[in-house]
Amino acid sequence: MTFETPTEPGTARRTRRARSANSLTRSSGLGLGIALTWFSLLVLIPLALIVIQSIDGGWETFRLTLTNPQTVSALRLTVEQSLIVTLINVVMGTLIAWVLVRDDFPGKQLLEVVIDIPFALPTIVAGLVLLSLYGPTSPLGINVANTERSVFLALLFVTLPFIARTVQPVLLELDRDVEEAAASLGASRFVTLRRIILPALAPAIAAGAALSFARGISEYGSLVLLSGNLPNKTEVASVRILTYIENGNEAAAASVAVLLLLVALLAITILQIITSRVARRG
Amino acid sequence: MASSRVQPKTAGTYVRRVIVIAYLFFLVVWPVSLVVKHTFDGGFGNITTALSDPVVTDALRLTVYVAIWAVVINTVFGIGVSLLLVRYEFPGRSVLSALIDLPLAVSPVVVGLALLLAYGGTNGLFGPFLNSIGFQVAFATPGIILATAFVSLPLVIRELVPTLQEIGTDQEQAARSLGAGPWATFRRITLPSIKWALVYGVVLSLARSLGEFGAVKVISGNIAQQTQTATLVVEQKYQDFEQETAYATSFLLTLIAIAALVVITILRPKDKSDGN
């Protein structure tokens, strides 16, 4: 799994694009039409209906839902834990990418697989997996089940690959000559890190952080078995939405869902801005 | 190349290495290995018990069926959209390119709710009409396929777009100028050069499709032996105190996930992974 920030088609490789870009032919236009129809039916219309539903319920439903203490507490917990986990990922993800690129030891290939496990493992299994080491029967004697820490742990697990995988390709591309030049001009290792390496990695770290945060606030599956979904204690935003759906209150569900949707849009916008800025610089 | 990237070993190298290995061990390796251990606590008994439970086997069958449909849909859609995004110029292209990533960032529960609002049998936008022509989407297999296709939608495209940009159009133009039609050009020139990226994207989509939980839970209605997928069985069995079956089913899903990752690690071009 790589999370290389995809080169945005419009900005990357302008010279080659200038030659390769075609305006639509009749058959490709038809293809675009079919693709857009499918994409609208599957993604755009259903997501737009959430926005419509939340407005439809009226401002009062929206206000009541979002001032409901249980919802407020769920949203606060979700955002808090996602922020903490993203901060940890900024440090650990960068460190993991660093070790994968700059270090070399037997079994390094194995780490490549291990990092992707949280992405490939079904989320419900992820919860079960964490429960077996950090649950009531923990061989370590650490039991986080049904506490706030379980939310933290689950998010830490599912967001593990994001920053590591966005930073890794950038670090691979990074020119060692510049670092060596800085060192030969008398820069200390810390100064080289701060002035040369981190600025080069910053866009990738930011892109990975956006993905990590978006994933964190939207997480559901890994928490089901682990957190116990206790109201006002371990209940996250997604669980709150599900409760509203199960109670048949789709308007309230949509009100909370719209908030999550906004954060998701914000995350991919940040991703897009960073990607096109990097492409322009390159 | 590798030697220029690998730094001279200092104390810091070993400190970093130990921190990373310990972190991954406690967060991933140990917990995952415990599920394997729990599964084989009494030999192969748990696996055979699980596989003789019709609730489990029906769910596994449904999961595979749904995943295959979702992967086929996403592969066809993915190839088409990737070619359009890279090879053609049209208004709104960069907006489409950004929106394609949206399913990666949306909560599975929100995906389920969105599909319910569109395809729900009584209140959905299209649901009542589709029902009237005898096509039930929500709380039935088509709904599960839609949810699964939704969450794994960007994976093929994210692999294909960079590769298509990389290979350029010189060979395709040469083929076209020598008289090859668009389909022959695609099959003989484009497809072979994007083959590995495509396989990579398909394996990722398959792994993601087999494991979807939240979106499927909302749209499927979670009816045992009808609309219950493998991940939903894990939840139900665990909560019904049939933990052995839950562990055995989880083990099967873990096995598939890790097998997918191993395939991907083998396929990944070496210059991407370690610079050798």
- For the domain spanning B54-273, the CATH number is 1.10.3720.10
Instruction: Report residue B40 as tokens.
Output: 């084989």
Q: What is the residue extent of each domain of chain B?
A: 12-41, 54-273
Report pLDDT digits (tens) over A94-123: 999 999 998 888 888 889 889 989 988 999
* Among B209, B103, B234, residue whose Cα is nearest residue A126: B234
Q: Are A211 and A271 in contact (CB under 8 A)?
A: yes
ipTM score for this prediction:
0.86
| A18 located within any domain | no
CB contact under 8 A, B31 and A129: yes
* A229 and A111 together in one domain: yes
A44 contacts on B by Cβ (under 8 Å): 99
Q: Which residues of chain B carry a pLDDT beneath 70?
A: 1-8, 269-276
A49 contacts on B by Cβ (under 8 Å): 114, 117-118, 125
Inter-chain CB pairs, A–B, below 8 Å: 319
CB contact under 8 A, A124 and B234: yes
Q: Tokens 């709904």 map to which residue?
A: B143
Q: Tokens 């949203």 map to which residue?
A: A75
Q: Nearest CA to CA, how far is B117 from chain A (Å)?
A: 6
* Among B99, B209, B232, B91, residue whose Cα is nearest residue B157: B99
* A66 and A51 together in one domain: no
Please write down the long-range contacts of B166-171, taking CB distance under 8 Å and 24 or more positions apart.
Answer: B167/B193, B167/B194, B168/A16, B168/A20, B169/A16, B169/A19, B169/A20, B169/B87
B212 contacts on A by Cβ (under 8 Å): 122
List all residues 6 or more positions away from B140 whose beta carbon is below 8 Å from its beta carbon.
B227
- Using CA atoms, how far residue B138 sits from B58, B170, B208, B220, in Å, is 19, 46, 21, 6
Angle formed by the axes of helices B141-151 and B191-211, to 10°?
120
Report pLDDT digits (tens) over A77-95: 999 999 999 999 999 999 9
H or E element that contains B221: none
| Percent of chain B whose predicted confidence (pLDDT) is above 70 | 94
A111 contacts on B by Cβ (under 8 Å): 20-21, 24
CA distance linking residue A38 with residue A116, whole number of Å: 30
List the beta bridge partners of residue A23: B89
Confidence at residue A281, expressed as pLDDT on a 0 to 100 scale? 65
CA distance linking residue B204 with residue A167, whole number of Å: 20
* A90 and A34 together in one domain: no
Three-state SS for B89? strand
* A134 and A42 together in one domain: no
B235 contacts on A by Cβ (under 8 Å): 124, 224-225
Q: Nearest CA to CA, how far is B157 from chain A (Å)?
A: 10
* A51 and A63 together in one domain: no
List all residues 6 or more positions away from A221 whose beta carbon is below 8 Å from its beta carbon.
A122, A123, A124, A126, A127, B108, B213, B214, B231
| A66 located within any domain | yes
The CATH number of residue A197's host domain is 1.10.3720.10
Strand pairing class (A22-23; B88-89): parallel
* A153 and A272 together in one domain: yes
CB contact under 8 A, B88 and A105: no
Q: Tokens 């290389």 map to which residue?
A: A4
Number of domains in chain A: 2
* A212 and A106 together in one domain: yes
pLDDT tens per residue, chain A (282 residues)? 445 554 444 444 444 444 445 777 888 889 899 999 999 999 999 999 999 988 877 788 888 888 899 999 999 999 999 999 999 999 999 999 999 998 888 888 889 889 989 988 999 999 999 999 998 888 888 898 889 999 999 999 999 999 999 999 888 888 788 888 888 888 888 888 888 888 889 889 998 999 899 999 999 999 998 988 888 889 999 999 999 999 988 888 999 999 999 888 888 888 888 877 777 765
* A115 and A91 together in one domain: yes
The pair phi, psi for residue B212, each rounded to 5°, is -65, 140
Domain that holds residue A196: 59-281
* A46 and A71 together in one domain: no
Count CA atoms within 13 Å of residue B249 on its CB side.
Answer: 34
Confidence at residue A23, expressed as pLDDT on a 0 to 100 scale? 75
Which of A95, A110, A128, A242 is best to mutate for the B interface (most B CBs within 10 A)?
A: A128
* A50 and A125 together in one domain: no
Three-state SS for B85? helix
CB contact under 8 A, B107 and A47: no
A12 contacts on B by Cβ (under 8 Å): 165
